[in-house]
Amino acid sequence: MTGHTYEICLALGVLSPMIGFWLLVFGGRVLGKPGAGWFALVTGMGVPLVLATYVLLCWLRVDDATRAALTENAARFHWATIGGVSIDIGIKLDSLTIAMFFMVTFIAFWIFFFSIGYMSGHSDEVDGKRKYWRFFAYLSLFAFSMLGLVVSSNLLFLFIFWELVGLCSYLLIGFYFHEPTPQYAQIKAFVTNRVGDFGFLIGMMLVFFHLKTLDLDQAAVVFGEQYAAGSGIFASGFTMFGWSLATILGIGLFCGAMGKSAQFPLHVWLPDAMAGPTPVSALIHAATMVAAGVYLVARVFRLMTPEALMFVAAIGCITLTLMALIALVQVDIKKCLAYSTLSQLGYMIFGMGCGAWVAALFHLVTHAFFKAMLFLGSGQVIEGCHHVQDMRRMGGLRKKMPVTCWTFFIGVLAISGAGIAGVKVGGAGIGLGGFFSKDEILAVAYVRSHEWTSYERVEEGHGGGHGSDEHASAVKVGASRVILASDPAHGDSGHGSTAHGASAHGGSHATGKAAIFENTPPLPKWMFYLALATAYITPFYMMRAWWMTFMGKPRDQHVYDHAHETPMMYIPLAVLAGGTAFASYFVFRDLFAHAAPDATDAAMVLAIDGTTHTPAMSAAHSYLVYAVGGSFVAGFALAIGIYGRGLDVAEKIKRTAGPLHTLLEKKYFIDELYHLVWIKGCLVVATVARFFDTWVLDLAYNLLGSATERFAVFIGRFVDVHGVDGIVNGISKTSLDVSDVVRSPQTGRIRSYVMFAAMVAAVVILILVFKPEPSHRLLIPSVASLGG
């Protein structure tokens, strides 16, 4: 297929759910239950999925040149003009978009499918009223926004859809708005995101002001040029916390990602967001929306200076560690998954930060699959157990819901990065999800932290050469880097991309790149080690969750009796399980690898060239594989060891751990802190402002509303208390006093009148008599002297 067909397909894919949304809004009641659900499934996700698949297949078939051409020729339509800058709407057509688009549609489709089953019961009742079709309308709206976010080529549109997904998440978290928890959760989610968007806005302002465009590609190009020329944003000497303006730009944009992807310290909303219906948690708060932050960083990667990326890495690292620790003590199955999500998102962000662009996205996709599956599994469990979420009341459910149990287990394996290190079948390593993606991140992190200096030395060999404007070479270089970055984890696992990876390494860095490359610092070692350590924690809490839920003996007979599973709900599980496996091996990574050169082709990025063929590196990676690859064994063992027979052991540990445990259980008291500082603080300020308004400002105008009335009563016989007189007297209390002064001579005694008049006349006459010459000087200075 040729021309703009790709874009048209994608556009249709985006619009279809939109149309579905409106039809549901107006006709939802007619469609009824479950009609509305099926309708949503088809329009909302069926159509896009078909289109996405079609596009994907075509895209895979064409060669790089064609792809480049298509990317180049993607159509743009003028939408509006900000000042002099034209804002164009269009579709960013590249491998990344297509991959993400497919991933989203695929997962969303099955989650829609699942929702039909999930909502078939009483789950669609809000305060006893059925809101079935409204739920699917929201889902469709979300689908529209998410797909729009994925395809948009312009920062402003990215932001618009960004906010729209936020809105959907708000609406869906608060789906059961008759209960207090969702109400607070939804506000928390939206406002916290807004905090991030505040940063996003600042970043956008900087882009707009310095790069004079909001188009992602153009912005990147201008950014690179300005760097090379040391002009524009790089010309300003402004620094904050030692960050240059360019860095602040990157960090600002990243703030948005921190909000959406719930990175520390803005992570607080995600756990609470679990108050929403489970499919929502799976779709929005595990698979797609929360990943949007990572996607954003990937998109604006080229606007990030090394300092900015360092900041990103640090945030990611902190998040992944802290959240994993909290996950250890969670007993609510969804909360547990939520924290694991946070931790995994931390990994992705961390990966982005340390330059593992491909790996991070790869992890995003694999994680999307298995985490969606896990959530759906938990949803199945919860629905089955009549909305019991406490794992301590579960146990032994494998008999009641085998499919769920084993698919869930696959998820556990995937997230733990289970695989057989070093063994390759047909050139591909054996493992699931994390085994590839997470380890790849760690590998890059390792290079950045340990072998950066040696790496530099190697790289300096290639210094100099042609200018960065030479697109092709840049592409190749970028490609080579990204591919090889993950080489050890996969060996030459027969990805088509290795080919041009290897062939391309002749490419060299432009002066600009070389220069920045000089001052790109190595990654602090602690980051790497934290990430590594967390790789050991993850398997533990996941296995713990699985075991507590499905293994052992039933701890709550009542729950156990109710437990059941329905095909409508476990079919998606199976599909997604398959998807996880599929995603770990095929398609996605290639696409990212292919997108990488363009998406990361800006001056400063090459500096984070993950690795080269230095023997040291390979060695490092090969032992790294064993180190991480084995982690899940230890984790599982420990988990089974503790939870193998009931919760007693855990209880003991809990008692011994004491304060530490409470610290984790209370999530480091961050929520309490925020509530104290922000919410309370803001309300206090607001109240102050309000009082200022009613008491201080009105004092200036009408001197304290109520005091005014008291004054009115006081002055009397003709001013009634709540009348306009009272108020206006208040408004003009001063003038009333003046009035009293003015009328004070009006005593009613004629003699005093005469006396007063005579006195004034006398004064005037005296002035006349004793005035200095010339006459008119004293009376009033002349106009000339005042220059009127």
- Give the contacts of 479 (CB within 8 A, at least 6 positions apart): 497, 500, 501, 504, 593, 594, 596, 597
- Give the contacts of 29 (CB within 8 A, at least 6 positions apart): 133
Question: Does 57 help bind another protein (rule: CB under 8 A)?
Answer: no
DSSP 291: H
**Secondary structure (3-state) at 566:** coil
Return d(Cα 310, Cα 516) in angstroms, integer.
14
Return d(Cα 11, Cα 2) in angstroms, integer.
15
Q: Among residues 139, 155, 172, 204, which is the contact residue for another protein, using CB under 8 A?
A: 204
Phi, psi for residue 635 in degrees, rounded to 5: -55, -50
Q: Pick between residue 57 and residue 679 the one whose CB is nearest to another protein.
A: 679
Using CB under 8 A as the binding rule, the residues of this chain from 682 to 701 that contact another protein are: 682-683, 685-690, 693, 697-698, 700-701
Q: Of the listed pieces 171-179, 273-281, 442-450, 563-571, which binds another protein according to CB under 8 A?
A: 171-179
Q: Among residues 129, 457, 553, 655, which is the contact residue for another protein, using CB under 8 A?
A: 129
Q: Pick between residue 11 and residue 727 the one whose CB is nearest to another protein.
A: 727
Q: Of the listed pieces 41-49, 193-201, 445-453, 625-633, which binds another protein according to CB under 8 A?
A: 193-201
Using CB under 8 A as the binding rule, the residues of this chain from 78 to 117 that contact another protein are: 78-85
**Secondary structure (3-state) at 718:** coil
**Secondary structure (3-state) at 8:** helix
Q: Of the listed pieces 260-268, 327-335, 629-637, 710-718, which binds another protein according to CB under 8 A?
A: 710-718
Q: Pick between residue 82 and residue 673 the one whose CB is nearest to another protein.
A: 82
Q: Pick between residue 69 and residue 758 the one whose CB is nearest to another protein.
A: 758
Nearest distance from residue 750's CB to another protein, in Å? 5
Question: What is the maximum alpha-carbon separation in the chain?
Answer: 123
Q: Of the listed pieces 369-377, 420-428, 650-658, 715-723, which binds another protein according to CB under 8 A?
A: 715-723
Q: Of the listed pieces 54-62, 528-536, 554-562, 769-777, which binds another protein according to CB under 8 A?
A: 769-777
Tokens of 455: 């790496």
Q: Among residues 195, 638, 663, 703, which is the contact residue for another protein, using CB under 8 A?
A: 195
Question: Does 202 help bind another protein (rule: CB under 8 A)?
Answer: yes
DSSP 470: -
Return d(Cα 600, Cα 377) in angstroms, integer.
36
The alpha-carbon radius of gyration of the chain (Å, integer) is: 34
Q: Pick between residue 666 and residue 777 the one whose CB is nearest to another protein.
A: 777
Encoded one letter per residue, x for contact with another protein by CB under 8 A and - for no contact, window 274-313 reads ----------------------------------------
Q: Pick between residue 5 and residue 752 the one whose CB is nearest to another protein.
A: 752
Question: Does 757 help bind another protein (rule: CB under 8 A)?
Answer: yes
Tokens of 621: 């990676």
Q: Pick between residue 89 and residue 532 the one whose CB is nearest to another protein.
A: 89
Alpha helices in 385-464 (DSSP H): 402-416, 434-450, 452-461
Q: Around Cβ 748, how many Cβ atoms within 10 Å?
A: 6
Q: Pick between residue 535 and residue 727 the one whose CB is nearest to another protein.
A: 727
Using CB under 8 A as the binding rule, the residues of this chain from 719 to 748 that contact another protein are: 719, 722-725, 727-729, 731-732, 735-736, 738-739, 742-743, 745-748
Question: Does 180 help bind another protein (rule: CB under 8 A)?
Answer: yes
Cis omega (within 30 of 0) for bond into 265: yes
Q: Among residues 61, 457, 655, 717, which is the contact residue for another protein, using CB under 8 A?
A: 717
Q: Among residues 183, 218, 511, 614, which is the contact residue for another protein, using CB under 8 A?
A: 183
Q: Among residues 169, 186, 407, 416, which is the contact residue for another protein, using CB under 8 A?
A: 186
DSSP 390: B
Question: Does 187 help bind another protein (rule: CB under 8 A)?
Answer: yes
Q: Among residues 63, 65, 127, 655, which is the contact residue for another protein, using CB under 8 A?
A: 127
Q: Of the listed pieces 61-69, 173-181, 395-403, 470-478, which binds another protein according to CB under 8 A?
A: 173-181
Whole-number Cα distances in Å, 567 to 114, 116, 302, 570, 784: 9, 11, 45, 5, 99
Contacts by 665-672, CB closer than 8 A, 24 or more apart = 665/329, 667/268, 667/271, 667/326, 668/322, 668/326, 670/265, 670/268, 671/268
Q: Pick between residue 206 and residue 284 the one whose CB is nearest to another protein.
A: 206
Using CB under 8 A as the binding rule, the residues of this chain from 150 to 169 that contact another protein are: 156, 159-164, 167
- Give the contacts of 625 (CB within 8 A, at least 6 positions apart): 421, 422, 439, 488, 489
Nearest distance from residue 36's CB to another protein, in Å? 15
Using CB under 8 A as the binding rule, the residues of this chain from 339 to 398 that contact another protein are: none
Q: Pick between residue 199 and residue 346 the one whose CB is nearest to another protein.
A: 199
At 635, which amino acid appears?
G
Number of residues that bind another protein (CB under 8 A): 106
CB-based contact 268:372 (threshold 8 Å): no
Whole-number Cα distances in Å, 261 to 62, 219, 284: 33, 23, 11
Return d(Cα 514, Cα 462) in angstroms, integer.
9
Q: Among residues 1, 12, 58, 191, which is the contact residue for another protein, using CB under 8 A?
A: 191
Chain-centroid distance of CA 397 in Å reads 35
Tokens of 386: 């009549």
Using CB under 8 A as the binding rule, the residues of this chain from 17 to 36 that contact another protein are: 25
CB-based contact 520:306 (threshold 8 Å): yes
Q: Of the listed pieces 122-130, 438-446, 497-505, 528-536, which binds another protein according to CB under 8 A?
A: 122-130
Helix or strand (DSSP H, E) at 505: none
Using CB under 8 A as the binding rule, the residues of this chain from 535 to 594 that contact another protein are: none
Q: Of the listed pieces 451-459, 587-595, 633-641, 681-689, which binds another protein according to CB under 8 A?
A: 681-689
Return d(Cα 333, Cα 650) in angstroms, integer.
16
Helix or strand (DSSP H, E) at 498: helix 496-503
Question: Does 782 help bind another protein (rule: CB under 8 A)?
Answer: yes
Question: Does 755 help bind another protein (rule: CB under 8 A)?
Answer: yes
Nearest distance from residue 350's CB to another protein, in Å? 27
